[in-house]
Structure 1
Amino acid sequence: MNNARSQAFSPAPDTAPRWLSRLLAPLSQVSEGLLHLQLPNGDSLHFGSDNGTLEASVKVNRWRALRRLLAGGALGWSEGFVEGDWDSPNVAAIISWALANEEALSELLEGSRISRFLSLFRHRRRANSKRGSRKNISFHYDLGNNFYETWLDESMTYSSALYSSPVQSLASAQADKYQNIVDALDISDGARVLEVGCGWGGFAEHLCRQRKVSLDGITLSREQLAYARERLARSGLSENTELRLEDYRDTTGQYDHIVSIEMLEAVGREYWDTYFQTLYQRLKPGGSAAIQVITIDEHRFEGYCDSPDFIQTYIFPGGMLPSIERVEMHSTSAGLEWQGAQAFGNSYARTLAEWNQRFQASWPEISRQGFDERFRRLWRYYLEYCEGGFLGGSINVYQVFLKRPA
């Protein structure tokens, strides 16, 4: 196909539902990239332009998929994939294509008022109080250590890697991410370090192998805590470390350095001030902090707050992405000095693609752990949905560096 084109379609009543025209009208207005849409009745439609930039394909298995889109917007469309109502060889490409045509598709992706209200209502019931935080974290991270161990790399790191080479392995890029933090904070022997959200102990092990530090790590996941403690003990690194089940709001004492990797996203908007005030209080005067955080574009922020998405609904209940501008605003309002930020969204897109590849290749073993096909589709959509967001530029990831004034 060499010619730019845009096609609208008026299906005959005996081959397609009459309401289909409500869907095809906005699709006929797109101009970026090309969408191939195969309907359940066998018709194949094409929308957009063949300009060689973006191309995505959708096979609609049931008309219900399109009804979900009309009623529930982007969230309804996501639910349709999980239920098998539609398929695609590349979900990430669909997300990137939709982001490129966001203006033309905006009303379609919003869904009905009632669906938006119900989604927002569910999200607000998952507020991150201390009790709510424990429940929300457990929902995602306590699926079982065996589950995550099956498809994560050997470092058991569940956050973006930092790639420096097209041929670099995932494990190597994860180590580089950790090392970038160690170098930026200039952590030296004898330092007292707090890790807020220590996960399965990847950063703790990386740091303690290099530096003789006193490290405290906190998490709200019992599964992660058990794994991380055993990991450090097995490595002979537990002597000067203390890992515990604790909310960040309950920490005491002061530290030379604080590290928090992709934990701010789980804090919740109403607690961002509390989070940064806690970092300020826990840092010694002159102490420094590194935060790795996924962000959303500032111009999307308010709409995002009013319309919880697939990730907030099905993957990370209670989650909320800040913009990088709001990270700076809340951290400096707490008295912390902004030392800079490093963006590496393309690295996250690649990390997610590798995770998805590993997840799919490991599915026979994952399924033996008791997870069904719906779970597989849910996680495939989650990983590719996020990959498409990074590729399309609607979200990014940063390492942010802060300091408490001396």
Structure 2
Amino acid sequence: MTSTLNTPISDRWADISPLRNGPKARISAAIARRIFVKVAERYGISVSYDGSPADLVIHRPEEFFSRVGNDGLIGFGESYMTGAWDAEDLGGTLTILCEQIGDLVPAWMQKLRATYVSRPPKAQRNTAANTRGNIAHHYDLSNDLFALFLDPTMSYSSALFDTDSVTDGTRTTMAPPVAGSALEEAQGRKIESILDAAGVTAGSRVLEIGTGWGELAIRAARRGATVRSVTLSSEQQTLARSRFADAVAAEGLRADAVQVDLLDYRSVEGQYDAVVSVEMIEAVGYEYLPSYFETIDKVLAPGGKVAIQAITMPHDRMLATRRTWTWIHKYIFPGGFLPSTEQLDEVTRSRTALRLDHRTTFGSHYAETLRQWDEAFTASHDAVIEAGFDETFLRMWHFYLEYSRAGFASGYIDVQQITFTREA
């Protein structure tokens, strides 16, 4: 296996913030230390500085507090990448912190948020010129890398496990899954659920925004639909086309049933009976949500349905963080943005004829999905190294998966399947 990165992995870490040692930096580190000690005591997080067992083991305190004090949450993640600290149960410790995210920093500091948080670089705005580079940064790492921890469907989004549910009006809430539930089966259930929500049947003309590695398109073709799928990842396009060709040969599907194009969603033309999009909206960006839904509204045929799977966050947190540059933006998803349900409803009502019809929430299912991904990724340590990635990448990816799991396990973020119909 080989990495498709243009530069060696070992050369990619020059952007880790250098340690600072001036008077202001030392003051910031001292403040970070005081806040951290109080937070650990308040929430029962044991801390070790000498390597003895604890919830959080800080190997290099000066580096840890310097990075956190001067670069906030970006520094917190970077200090994990460099090995300045470890946690026996990384996901569990991060979940505790996520549960208290609004109270970790003193109120007086939160009021000064705008003066110290980093702003996203202009180069990461999701303009038509920038978006492909943002997507490639993550999804073009290596198909072989993703295959190491994803299930055989190659689904890189939350699974939907078989659990009880409660429906209240236009919202259905899924009960938490049992740890260790079959992931491949749950990923298939997720895809079939969203195809059902969009009304995909034999003869349907389907637009998929965000191809992934082709599983949804293949399943829609099995239903007798004709699918046009668009992506900005050349790696995903290549494997999705290959997987569909294999399905044609093995199952006798129509050879023209699926078309996978390397195309920005803003350039899509035509008319479609169903528009589906699974966890692609997070790559659209706050300021481009109107163009995303306006495009969908333009291409949706009369009587058609829209079904998207979206990671969402509470509206107040979205407003507070929408212009913040985070560790996730810097290292994992440049240009990413998590909307709120209120924001999606507001944008579609003000800019389109689309109306939110129903939503199913299942954030705890994403926590279990991520737990299983991280377990598989960690078990693939040697294969990841053989693929050309280094130990810093392994720590970065492990932190990313567990940090994300903590967000869903704590309820700080959610995932939903949302159906839209056009207002008559």
The normalised TM-score by structure 1 is 0.87
1:95 corresponding residue in structure 2: 94
Q: Aligned-pair distance for 1:276? A: 0.3
Of residues 99-108 and 161-170 in structure 1, the stretch that sits farther from structure 2 once superposed is: 99-108
Tell which deviates more after alignment, 363-372 or 299-308: 299-308
Cα 1:66/1:271, change in 2 over 3 Å: same
Other structure's SS at 1:281 match: helix
Pick the aligned partner of 1:206 from 208, 219, 229. 219
**Paired AA for residue 336 in structure 1:** L
Q: Tell me the residue number matched to 1:10.
A: none
Q: Check if 1:356 corresponds to 2:366.
A: no
Contact 1:72–1:111 (CA under 8 A) maintained in structure 2: no
Tell me the matched-pair count: 375
- For residues 214 and 372 of structure 1, do their structure 2 counterparts lie closer, same or farther at Cα, with a shift above 3 Å needed? same
Which residue of structure 2 aligns with residue 384 of structure 1? 402
Q: What corresponds to 1:130 in structure 2?
A: 128
Partners of 1:398 and 1:157 in 2: how far apart? 16
- Secondary structure of the 1:311 match is helix
Task: Give 3-state SS (helix, strand or coil) of 2:126's partner.
Answer: coil
1:227 corresponds to which letter in structure 2?
L
Deviations 1:259-284 (A, max 9, x none): 00000000111110000000100101
Contact 1:157 1:202 in 2 (8 A): yes
Structure 1 103/320 Cα, relative in aligned 2: closer, same or farther at 3 Å? closer
Q: 2:311 aligns with which of 269, 279, 294?
A: 294
Is 1:303 aligned to 2:302, yes or no? Answer: no
- Corresponding position of 1:217: 229
Aligned pairs (5 A) from 1:2-401: 20=30, 23-25=33-35, 27-28=37-38, 33-40=43-50, 57-63=55-61, 64-107=63-106, 116=116, 119-122=118-121, 124-165=122-163, 166=178, 168-209=181-222, 211-236=223-248, 237=253, 238-333=255-350, 334-401=352-419
Alpha-carbon deviation of 1:206?
A: 1.8
* Deviation larger for 315-324 or 238-247: 238-247
Q: CA deviation at 1:349?
A: 0.4
**Which deviations, in whole Å up to 9, do the C-alpha atoms of 1:208-256 show, x marking residues without a partner?**
22x1111100000111001001111111033221111011010100100
Distance 1:58 1:367 in 2: 26
29 and 349 in structure 1: CA distance in 2 versus 1, 3 angstrom threshold: closer
Q: Percent of pairs identical after alignment?
A: 35
* CA displacement, residues 153-208 of structure 1 (integer Å, 9 cap, x when unaligned): 10011001011152531100000001111222222211100000011101111222
Higher RCO (Cα < 8 Å, 6 or more apart): 2
Q: How far 1:94 sits from its partner (Å)?
A: 2.1
**CA deviation digits over 1:323-358, x for unaligned, max 9?**
111111112222102111111000000000000001
Structure 1 counterpart of 2:94, one-letter code: I
- 2:199, 2:305 within 8 Å by CA — same for their partners in 1? no
Contiguous gaps of at least 5 residues in structure 2: 1-25, 164-177
